[in-house]
Structure 1
């Protein structure tokens, strides 16, 4: 890789120090006793060439000051120290002032109590919450990361230890503009790649000794049930595993087990014919041993006598080994139909004499090798540290099957965006141990569908399989339904994928990115945005026996929010509010913001994830909005030549009328001709008339209009209020029906049910009804469920 030098106009340098003012909010600070500084790209930093910002420099023999619009640095021109280097940030969000001291043990270096955390290498064996590493976002408005120990890329693009020691720290002072901080970090560290489209569907995975016959039988059963999958994962038993320990054991392997897969090419061909993409699990630490199919050719290539039967040692710091590793151990499998690799490195971060983490090198070389072969890079591997966002997807490891594990994962997944790592993949349903709980499994499925990657997985315990038919009704049907919904989401998810790559907006977004000065946005840690349109509140607690619902306390921000499943409308008012959202087994709270526009594939039972012929557009009421759906071929790099299409959906909103318009531009060859659109108007009032609609039907249970019209890629649908309130938004007109349905299912005293229903049908003011309900001293969860119909 080439050097990544900063613009000279950004640099303030002395004999042993160098400061690079990259933006008004970000500065690199280096100190070297030898006066030699690092200009090569590092593990974390690829680009230091930013436009020259405005800043001032004031200095004397023993003092240097650098000031921008965001910070003021003072330095004594000696070795960096707490006493000699500090920075005042020009805003104050804490009780301790805005001063940051280099190396201090309070308010700067650990402990950093205002830091919003990042992620960690793995959740292996985690049962609930674990401590996370520090992130780039901090409520205090300033933070830093230390790049001093990261390796560099030498002139041959090989990871290499730094040739000299220095202090190399980046100071960030972005206040609470978390989007800006992440955007500039991506510019510094490199963009998140555009994932292939197939990665965004459902993945089937299990640690299980499948054969060709049993795996095909399994997938055929999914197809019969109209349950779509886009990725078929083969855990380690695809290769020879019965290897004596004196030969290194059976974890590492590159040769198909022909007892289970007598004709691998036939098997891979069947998978591709049925629209599955394939990944194989590898544990590469034991190298290439003499029983492997490719051993002889690889040994000769590396100058090793094959007759010696000497193991070819794993060494990703050796350029010749890296070349042979791909040429002989991986490319033949890829030529036969393997799409990408699950790199299951579990041997720690000891890189031997090089001192470089082997996991990082595996991630880097595998990703780049795919790109060299004309395909978008994709791996499944563990997190290797800051900068790992360039090599997705993350495999979070072997978690324990408990409610505590599920409860931690939404927070863990969203918080990883604080280090730019937005593509985590969990073992949905949990990996091992724990217990069988039908409700837990379903709730994990639901979270998985609203996660960046939805990969079902489990251990080889015969009682841990995640097949929906392993669960009784209604769990089985609900699992199947939510898996179909994931494939319906692909048009939306693929647009988020593109936005992340080009606009540097993470796919999954913590609440406080949008509401940085709202304290409750930090308090409700399990809520997150999936893209710009949906606020997700996963259910991580068991159903209450009385109410037959789970209740999750959530923060509803200011304005109107509509549940995309139930059609219920919530009003956060001017300042937002806390509210318990109660849901039965069939759904979790997923709230569309005011004016949300969510494109879905309307036919999603097939494994095929191509750009759909029919698109459902979910529209939520309350505000004007624009959403541009992105589409291309789904793989490769033709999009870089402009071969992509943009479909712009515009909602022009007023209280009593609205207009939805569609405009398609770009390369129309990548989308189906004569595409059909259907509008799903969720949370709208019943009294509405339409202009340019062919057909319109209203579902009173979900407050939803389903409208079809002839759309030729540049059409409009007019929507007009036709009710006494002259309002388009659902206003609780059928609340009595909803409370009746709830009470019918609730497991509680029948006389209490009757009393509650009489209150709702009495015509009394809502406040009177609420007061009477509170006085009944019902189960807290029952009360919360009832209040949801009144608030």
Structure 2
């Protein structure tokens, strides 16, 4: 008995030793760790793949093998990166020269460390992985969640572009889906200098994985009479009639649910009140999301929690707020809603309280994936993190130089004559412009998708394009992935099975004229993408069109459909269910045009502007704008944090509709009244100031572009020449062109160094915790601090200048102390500050970006710190820079010696200036120099050889 036990014990030890070697296997670029499962939905395998010294991909599955699904966002990178592997009793670890990652052999928990062994990112205790089976259209997958620990002082940025004016996402929730004014990018950057790219294309959530609930699931509801079970809804109509009813939820959020509103009278003739009491079912912090169109206010406990907000009827927005509430304690509640159109939306939902320790963790949830896939990106700073992201997802090409200039657009130039007349007016007034945009509906009314022009309004499109070019401008045209089923292009695509058919089969009509039936093409099919570009090439590119405005690329097949209907309308895709591929349509559509044009003409830079986007969009020479936002001060403010988070999401080129797209009727009426009387009424006075402040902000964005509905957006249509609004808008447009050497160099840095042009303060002042939540100021490049003004009649604003730095007022050249302070913001000026050590190059006045060679550049140097700047130049419109045909000139400033060293020019290109002049002006605390391009400094001639200049 004892002998047999001894033999069994020896056999068991041998077996255990043998199994220990099967806990993991080393693969070519990493390791696979096998995890013992307690149930079939526990993680079974965890894979770490080394894609760079600071890049590791993590995959996890409950199955016996990993998915072979090809990533839509990441290329094959990081071949033959050296790494080592170690194993102990509990962990298998993998290390590169810069980072280390370990996998717990029992739980599958992954941890990341720097090379000194300090933890950077740690999955939740136990691994934090959840898999729930899901099957759609016969395809099986998982609803997944991954949870990470997060220290108290961590902050999160990125996630794309959203409109709730949130900046730091620590402790917040964001639903990631594409919508007119939302862009989902599943990438965050932490102030701990790492990034996480979540490789999922389905509906996703950052933060609480739960969907916001109807009010009755979170509260006991009481109507205004005190009766339990509902709130009171009161609908008052202009006719004097009143409808009062009990409402057990407030959810009129889409085309389906608004049918539950009273239908006896037109909604736009009503004022609506929802009121009663809310009694919390749990104590704690309740998070709310208000979905609104029309004018909306919300009160809780008789306090105005949501001040008046507005969105146009057909394009609702979301507003988030939090309220601490005590279980069993009733709080009075009221919404005042004035619908502003035939169909309008109002919905309020809430989340039950979550423990702060859990809410503050980093959490990712996605509806449908074959497995968990994410990429860990480490860097010494946030720029290195974004560089790692672009290593994974693709470099950002240098945009054509003209794209850095001013663009004029409106909804819409209705005729060829109208477009050319307005462009000509820019030239007559000497207001710089590089691009004019032809928005939608240039085609015959019943021929959307034909890519043909309505001959009555556009009699000679080729002549129109040629005329634009003769005026030294470029033309961008709106192209939708949408086709009426009667067009030849629809039939061509449909014949191959490349059209989404549900909208056609259901006879869904759009909003044009009598309403027409059509749908969108399947951008997930390679053949469809090639055909889509081929149609554009034959009908539009052949005219000489310079750039593409890819509208409605969410895809927006039927506006304001609920999520389930949106999935049904946009699928199935060539790759699988739209549930799985819900968020990546714009990425695939951009792929079609970028690759198509480069194959057609590789000597002309591609430029795309799209309303939606996703991780990796930058590699397709594509910018994004923030959609059909409203003409409200709060919407202007929200664009600052939206643009900053989009930039830190790794996609460098972003823009917005200066002035907002959707216009309040009071501004339309104000314009019409002004046209009759030529007197500035109150609404039109505000309209002018709103546009002035928005232009001031827009001049310091990666792309500078005005667009929107009536009133017309051309500067002279906003105000006459004598008006301060006109003067200010022209001033900043001209300054934008003076800054072209600086701005275009930033574009070069974006390509060469993976730079970010529009920079949240957290990027440059990461160690200063005061900037963690500042989302209304930013750096424009390395030198300029931009502080937009977003309140009506404000003539000052509160700012923060990071301490430990010397700052200068841009206009006066005076030193400004650091810290929080109020600064002047006169009507015509935006507060701008320059960082000590800045080297700012300015070129001549120009009417378009390539009008004059920059043979005379004025260089402003700001004392107080050593500095450097690299001037980048190339051929402006082609791809020769990819072959190395560009030049750089490095400027270094030594603050101690007051010396500027202009380095030897590196590189060359056709048309390069061999000789030029620099006018160098030193600004210091004891040598105040106001900004003036005509100021005299130290003039030097430069022939490409290194020289030093003592100032």
Distance 1:703 1:495 in 2: 22
Q: Deviations over 1:510-559 (max 9, x none)?
A: 21122212111213222222222222222223444xxxx32232223422
Partner of 2:742: 492
Deviation at 1:601, TM superposition (A): 1.8
The answer to whether the aligner puts 1:282 opposite 2:282 as a matched pair is no
Change (3 A) 1:235 1:630: same
Alignment of 1:417-428 (within 5 A): 417-428=647-658
Q: Tell me which protein shows more helix as a share of its residues.
A: 1
Equivalent residue for 1:570? 816
1:316 correspondence with 2:316: no
- State yes or no: 1:471 paired with 2:719: yes
Range with greater deviation from structure 2 (110-119 or 217-226): 110-119
2:894 is paired with a residue whose SS is strand
Structure 1 Cα separation of the partners of residues 519 and 201 of structure 2: 29
Gapped regions of structure 2 (runs ≥ 5): 1-25, 35-43, 131-144, 168-172, 177-185, 204-367, 500-516, 557-565, 668-683
Deviation at 1:196? 1.3
In 1, distance between residues paired with 2:386 and 2:420? 43
Q: Does 1:168 align with 2:373?
A: yes
* Distance of 1:454 and 1:38 partners within structure 2: 43
1:34 Cα deviation from its structure 2 partner: 4.8
Residue 269 of structure 1 and its aligned partner are, at CA, apart by 0.2
Task: Answer yes or no: is the 8 Å Cα contact 2:67–2:370 preserved in 1.
Answer: no
Matched, 1:594 2:594: no
Match of residue 155 from structure 1: none
Structure 1 residue 59: Cα displacement = 4.8
CA, structure 1 residues 288+490, in 2 after alignment: closer, same or farther (shift >3 Å)? farther
CA distance in 2, matches of 1:429, 1:112: 38
Deviations 1:52-86 (A, max 9, x none): 355442155x8544467655534235xxxxx5424
1:268 Cα deviation after fit = 0.3
Q: Distance in 2 between matches of 1:192 and 1:54?
A: 29
Q: What is aligned with 2:659?
A: 429
Q: Does 1:667 align with 2:908?
A: yes
Q: Distance in 1 between matches of 2:520 and 2:784?
A: 49
Q: Does 2:393 match 1:353? A: no
- 2:28 maps to 8
Residue of structure 2 in register with 1:387 after alignment: 616
The yes-or-no answer on 1:551 pairing with 2:797 is: yes
Match of 1:368 among 587, 595, 600: 595
Partner of 2:158: 118
* Equivalent residues of 1:136, 1:143 under 8 A apart: yes
Against the structure 1 CA distance between its residues 92 and 298, is the aligned structure 2 distance closer, same or farther, given a 3 Å change threshold? closer
TM normalised by structure 2 equals 0.63
Pairs within 5 Å for 1:247-262: 252-262=449-459
- Give the gaps of 5 or more residues in structure 1: 1-5, 78-82, 152-162, 244-249, 305-309, 688-697, 721-791
Tell me the CA shift for residue 187 of structure 1.
Answer: 1.1
Contact 2:199 2:373 (C-alpha < 8 Å) held by counterparts: yes
Shift of 1:708: 3.6
Deviation at 1:233, TM superposition (A): 0.7
Query: Does 2:431 match 1:227?
Result: yes
Q: Distance in 1 between matches of 2:913 and 2:425?
A: 29
Aligned residue among 330, 336, 339 for 2:546: 339
Q: Is the Cα contact below 8 Å between 1:289 and 1:312 reproduced in 2?
A: no
**What is the DSSP-based 3-state SS (H/G/I as helix, E as strand, rest coil) of the residue aligned with 1:188?**
helix
Alpha-carbon shift at residue 334 of structure 1 (Å): 0.9
Question: Aligned-pair distance for 1:681?
Answer: 3.6
Residues of 1 paired with 2:799 and 2:369: CA distance? Answer: 53
CA change 1:669–1:653 in 2 (3 A) is farther
Query: Partners of 2:404 and 2:193 in 1: how far apart?
Result: 34
**In 1: Cα distance, 2:151 partner to 2:464 partner:** 54
SS at match of 2:71: coil
- Cα-to-partner distance string for 1:390-444 (whole Å, 9 max, x where unaligned): 2321121011111111112222212223320221110011112244422221111
Equivalent in the alignment of 2:59: 30
Q: Does the CA-based 8 Å contact 1:287-1:311 persist in structure 2?
A: yes
Matches within 5 A, 1:404-553: 404-434=634-664, 435=667, 436=684, 437=686, 438-459=688-709, 461=710, 463-472=711-720, 473-544=723-794, 549-553=795-799
Tell whether 2:316 aligns with 1:87.
no
The one-character-per-residue Cα deviations of 1:318-358 (angstroms, maximum 9, x if unpaired) are: 44433332223334311211112111125347441123443
1:585 matched to 2:827? The reply is yes
Pairing partner for 1:617 from 833, 854, 859: 859
Partner secondary structure for residue 148 of structure 2: coil
When residues 557 and 535 of structure 1 are mapped into structure 2, their CA distance, relative to the original with a 3 A threshold, is farther
- Change in 2 beyond 3 A, CA 1:702/1:276: closer
Given the alignment of the two structures, is residue 677 of structure 1 paired with residue 923 of structure 2, yes or no?
no
- Alignment partner of 1:398: what SS? coil
Contact 2:806/2:817 (CA < 8 Å) preserved in 1? yes
Indicate conservation of the 8 Å contact 2:124/2:148, yes or no.
no
Q: Are the counterparts in 2 of residues 197 and 634 from structure 1 also a CA contact under 8 Å?
A: yes
Could you list the per-position Cα deviations for residues 675-707 of structure 1 after superposition, in whole angstroms to 9, with x for gaps in the alignment?
3333344456459xxxxxxxxxx7699997544
In the aligned structure 1, how far is the partner of 2:619 from the partner of 2:59? 25
1:45 equivalent in structure 2: 74
Cα 1:704/1:368, change in 2 over 3 Å: same
CA distance in structure 2 between the partners assigned to 1:371 and 1:338 by the alignment: 14
Q: 1:637 aligns with which of 879, 895, 918?
A: 879
Give the stretch that moved more between structures: 371-380 or 313-322.
313-322
Is the 1:66–1:72 contact (alpha carbons within 8 Å) kept by the matching residues of 2?
Answer: yes
Cα distance change, pair 232–101 in 1 and its aligned pair in 2 (3 A): same
Question: Any idea what SS the aligned residue of 2:872 has?
Answer: strand
Deviation at 1:10, TM superposition (A): 3.1
Deviation at 1:232, TM superposition (A): 1.2
Query: Which string of whole-angstrom CA distances, capped at 9 and with x for unpartnered residues, describes residues 540-599 of structure 1?
Result: 23444xxxx322322234222223322122243xxxx22222232232232222121122
What's the RMSD between the two structures over aligned residues?
Answer: 3.9
Query: Which of 179, 182, 197 is 2:401 aligned to?
Result: 197
Q: Aligned partners of 2:393, 2:193: CA distance in 1, in Å?
A: 20
Contact 1:659–1:719 at 8 Å: present in 2 too?
yes
Classify the secondary structure of the residue corresponding to 2:906: strand
Normalization by structure 1: what TM-score? 0.74
Distance 2:658 2:498 in 1: 45
Which residue of structure 2 aligns with residue 146 of structure 1?
198
Contact in 1 for aligned 2:533/2:592 (Cα 8 Å): no
Q: Aligned partners of 1:704 and 1:303: how far apart in 2?
A: 61
Q: Is the alpha carbon distance of 1:289 and 1:276 closer, same or farther for their aligned partners in structure 2, counting shifts above 3 Å?
A: farther
* Matching residue of 1:212: 416
The structural deviation recorded for 1:168 is 1.8
In structure 2, the CA distance between the partners of 1:99 and 1:140, relative to structure 1 (3 Å rule), is farther
Q: Distance in 2 between matches of 1:301 and 1:147?
A: 30
Q: Is the 8 A contact 2:55 2:378 kept in 1?
A: yes
The answer on whether the counterparts of 1:633 and 1:670 sit within 8 Å (CA) in structure 2 is yes
1:397 to 627, 631, 643: 627
Aligned length: 661
Equivalence for 1:693:
none
- 2:212 matches 1:183: no
- DSSP-derived class of the 2:800 partner: strand
Query: In structure 2, the residue corresponding to 1:666 is in which secondary structure?
Result: coil
Distance in structure 1 (CA, Å) of the matches to 2:762 and 2:842: 27
Instruction: Say if 1:87 and 1:101, in contact at 8 Å, map to a contact too.
Output: no
CA distance 1:71–1:468, shift in 2 (3 Å): farther
- The verdict on how the C-alpha distance between 1:9 and 1:168 changes in structure 2, with shifts beyond 3 A counting, is closer
